Amino acid sequence: MIRFECDYAEGAHPQILKLLTETNFEQTPGYGTDIYCDKARAMIKDLCDFKGADVHFLTGGTQANMTVIASILRPHQGVLCAETGHIQNHETGAVEATGHKVLPLPGKDGKITAAQIETACLEHRNNAEHEHMVQPGMVYISNPTETGTIYSRNELKTLSAVCRSHSLPLFLDGARLGYGLAAAPNDLTMADIAALCDVFTIGGTKVGALFGEAVVFTNPALQTDFRYMIKQRGGMLAKGRLLGIQFVALLENGLYFDISAHAVELALKIKTAFIKKGYAFLYDSFTNQQFPIIPDRQLEILARKYAYSFWQRIDKQLSAVRFCTSWATKKTDVNALIHDIGEL
């Protein structure tokens, strides 16, 4: 079985294992106060061209999301997000478990617009009984989104402006950030993201690491005492250096971006193969996740050899599915898949 069902089917990029092994017997203080975490922090600040950033490392995406969100909101506030947002659908109510409502906004492509934020804020404020409703307290977006789409620089600038005009911190979940930056239509840089968001994550788990998400706070008002939050939510790794070491390995010589480009290149080849076959797509993705709509009979044939994720039933004969590539995807596997798509 060749697996295209997700981007976390393998271990880590060999450079990471190498650095973990080389440093294994060094003694360091715990909880992220070691030299490797320090080095990774410095590398991230450089990459983002943002000296005042406060950088932390957590083990997973749900953990990062709930810890960041709970650290920002007051009790009566909720977090605006796309109705397809990971925090709304795939975190077993982790945000609600910290006491906060997720406030989903409708959308077709996984994204939200500045106009939606503006409307949500005004509708709340102008409602005579607004004190009986959850107050919008921050905005969560993901880039790339859960549907593989990305925000343009202009879209992010407009979102950022409306958020700032309403004093809403803007949080970008970058669980697959590398794959977004590697997408052909992308015009965002790390420095743009740092300048336009108040806090964002750089995903390691799905982009070459064993595990790990870097949380980057650029807004100084949100930086106070975040380490307490990490500890309280169970995200503080005793051997914190494991996270520092992994991010050092990922960021050295642009490895993170190289392996992201590799995954995206292969995903686009798969996309092209499905297009050639005349299949439509649920979302127009230029990143490492592709969502073709395929007749069930053809899917059965593919399923004999390839693992993919079922996404959504379209009608009695058609299903949307997800094919994912990653830093670890082999060209030979993709070529085999493309060949078999051609044969369908």
Candidates 88, 92, 114; CA nearest to 102 is: 88
Closest by Cα among 137, 212, 206, 145 to 169: 137
Q: Which of 106, 128, 278, 297 binds a second copy (CB under 8 A)?
A: 128
Residue 328 within binding range of a second copy, rule CB under 8 A: yes
Cβ of residue 40: shortest distance to a second copy, in angstroms? 16
342 — phi, psi (to 5°)? Answer: -60, -35
Report in angstroms how near the CB of residue 86 gets to a second copy at its nearest.
Answer: 9
62, 142, 145, 287: which one contacts a second copy (CB under 8 A)?
62
- Angstrom distance (rounded) from CA 333 to CA 287: 18
Question: What is the Cα–Cα distance from 201 to 276, expressed in whole angstroms?
Answer: 36
Residues 224-263 that bind a second copy (CB under 8 A): 225, 227-229, 231-239, 241-242
Residue 20 or 314 with smaller CB distance to a second copy: 20
Q: How far apart are CA 308 and CA 6, in angstroms?
A: 7
**Which residues within the stretch 188-207 sit at the binding site for a second copy (CB under 8 A)?**
205-206
Question: Between residues 30 and 342, which has the closer beta carbon with respect to a second copy?
Answer: 30
**Residues in contact with 107: Cβ distance below 8 Å, sequence separation at least 6, in sequence order:** 82, 83, 84, 113, 116
Among residues 98, 113, 189, 223, which is the contact residue for a second copy, using CB under 8 A?
Answer: 98
What 3-state DSSP class applies to 299?
helix
Residue 208: CB minimum distance to a second copy, A: 11
**Interface pick for a second copy out of 54, 91, 146, 198 (rule CB under 8 A):** 91
Binds a second copy (CB under 8 A): choice among 15, 89, 113, 223: 89
Q: How far is CA 155 from CA 159, 163, 218, in A?
A: 6, 12, 19
Q: Which is nearer to a second copy, 206 or 271 (CB)?
A: 206
CB 317 to a second copy: min, Å:
19
How many residues at the interface with a second copy, by CB under 8 A? 78
Residue (189 or 223) nearer to a second copy, CB: 223
Per DSSP (E only), the strands in the chain are 2-3, 54-58, 77-82, 102-105, 135-142, 170-173, 199-203, 213-217, 289-290, 293-295, 306-307, 309-313, 318-324
The answer to whether the CB of 270 falls within 8 A of the CB of 290 is: yes
Asked if 84 touches a second copy (CB under 8 A), the answer is no
315 scored as a contact of a second copy (CB under 8 A): no
